[in-house]
Amino acid sequence: MRLLFVKLKHIGDSLLLTPTLAAVRATYPQAEIWVVVREGCEGILSGCPAIDQIRTAAAPEAVKRSRWNWWHDFQTIRELRQRRFDYAFELTDGDRGRWIAALGGAKVRCANGAGRALNWWWKGQFNSVSQFEWQCRHRAEKDFFTVADALPLKGEVPAMVFSRERTQDWPPAAAFPNYAVIHPGTRWRRKRWPKEKWIELGRHLLGRLPALIISAGPDTEERALASDLQAALGPNVLNTAGRTSWAQLAGLLHRAGLFVGVDTAAMHLAAACQCPTVAIFGASNVAEWRPWKAPHRSVLPGGIVIAGSGPVNGKTGAETKTQDVLVSDVVRGCEELLDATQD
């Protein structure tokens, strides 16, 4: 059986597909599994052993696209048609993903119709439409139950996957057997937490653990923030400076005693590595984006610290701001996880 999964979202969204892929592999061990994601998202899937082949479509950022992207997509579609897939699952809820899944030629073409509704045209292209109501459900559940409506899957939704065996070493960290990782940067301004709060948190963490590693993406602003934090926090702090691969960051997270970050791909990667995670939320919907099936605390403005998948006792949305999260509440989440994991 040949299976195609199309999810043209951002990097973290790609990782949220791995629970579904793991469940598919466990239920259908002989299946051939192909995945199509946005260019730049393939690296974070390198730790998922359920995948046989990865192909890419245009990058999620408009500035990285060109008029030749559709030609590349056409070539990808032609290759997919040659594979004669039995099932194709469109999990993007967008037109580009739907074109790729529909034209891929699979016998059964599946999409979700409960989010961005299918118009009459798309209803004619997909012969299996899931009505799973995924709003305010975790996005890992959305993928799983959308697929399961057409292709039965065993058990509950599993955890995310980045296998330890597929990680790589980051040599500068070899001298530190015990450390926390923080990932302060994000390209989404509404998710940013002030630099002075990161410095205060970093000083607290260095009082609990002997070392701190600052993770940063390649973006210029992220690297500048990481450099400023390293300078403020002293000699027991390392800075990845945007030069680690996803496999190297996963290696750091599998060994780390704690991860702290805002709602980013790095936060989801920490959960995939089962690293105790403190996630700082503002406008993001915690129910949909919290760390999935890993030890964690979600910290919101207003003194809200949520353990695991517990209820959200407070408002989330446009009226809440990440910058309003208090350092003391993040510290509380860190202390709870450190106490629980170091016993």
Domain boundary among 114, 148, 182: 148
CB atoms within 10 A of CB 326: 13
Residue 91, domain member (yes or no):
yes
pLDDT at 72: 79
Residue 155, domain member (yes or no):
no
Residue 33, domain member (yes or no):
yes
Residue 75, domain member (yes or no):
yes
Residue 37, domain member (yes or no):
yes
Residue 20, domain member (yes or no):
yes
Q: Provide the β-strand partners of residue 33.
A: 3
pLDDT at 74: 82
96 and 230 fall within a common domain: no
CB 188 within 8 A of CB 155: no
104 and 9 fall within a common domain: yes
247 and 125 fall within a common domain: no
230 and 193 fall within a common domain: yes
CB 257 within 8 A of CB 180: yes
Q: Looking at this protein, which amino acid is placed at residue 270? A: A
pLDDT at 318: 52
The pLDDT tens digits along the chain (343 residues) read 999 999 999 999 999 999 999 999 999 999 999 999 999 999 999 999 999 999 998 765 555 556 667 777 888 999 999 999 999 999 998 888 999 999 999 999 999 998 777 888 888 899 999 999 988 899 999 999 999 999 999 999 999 999 999 999 999 999 898 999 999 999 888 899 999 999 999 999 999 999 999 999 999 999 999 999 999 999 999 999 999 999 999 999 999 999 999 999 999 999 999 999 999 999 788 999 999 999 999 999 999 999 876 545 444 555 678 999 999 999 999 999 999 887 5
CB atoms within 10 A of CB 105: 17
Q: How far apart are CA 243 and CA 217, in angstroms?
A: 8
**How many domains is the chain partitioned into structurally?**
2
Handedness of CA 119, 120, 121, 124 (dihedral sign): positive
pLDDT at 314: 44
| Burial (0-12, 13-18, 19+ Cβ within 10 Å), 295 | middle
CATH classification at residue 334: 3.40.50.2000
227 and 334 fall within a common domain: yes
pLDDT at 68: 63
Q: Give the chain as a 3 state SS string.
A: CEEEEEECCCHHHHHCCHHHHHHHHHHCCCCEEEEEEECCCCHHHCCCCCCCEEEEECCCCHHHCCCCHHHHHHHHHHHHHHHCCCEEEECCCCHHHHHHHHHCCCCEEEEECCCCCCCHHHHHHCCEEECCCCCCCCHHHHHHHHHHCCCCCCCCCCCCCCCHHHCCCCHHHHHCCCCEEEECCCCCHHHCCCHHHHHHHHHHHHHHCCCEEECCCCCHHHHHHHHHHHHHHCCCEEECCCCCCHHHHHHHHHHCCEEEEECCHHHHHHHHCCCCEEEECCCCCHHHHCCCCCCEEEEECCCEEEECCCCCCCCCCCCCCHHHCCHHHHHHHHHHHHHHHHC
CB atoms within 10 A of CB 321: 14
Residue in 312, 311, 321 with CA at minimum distance from that of residue 284? 321
Domain boundary among 97, 120, 148: 148
133 and 208 fall within a common domain: no
pLDDT at 313: 44
315 and 228 fall within a common domain: yes
Residue in 67, 71, 72, 21 with CA at minimum distance from that of residue 47? 21
By residue range, what is the domain housing residue 246?
168-342
pLDDT at 263: 94
Those residues with Cβ within 8 angstroms of residue 29's Cβ, 6 or more apart along the chain or in another chain:
none
Residue 83, domain member (yes or no):
yes
Those residues with Cβ within 8 angstroms of residue 308's Cβ, 6 or more apart along the chain or in another chain:
295, 296
pLDDT at 315: 47
Structure tokens at 37: 């994601």
Residue 309, domain member (yes or no):
yes
pLDDT at 275: 98
180 and 321 fall within a common domain: yes
108 and 183 fall within a common domain: no
207 and 303 fall within a common domain: yes
199 and 338 fall within a common domain: yes
140 and 205 fall within a common domain: no
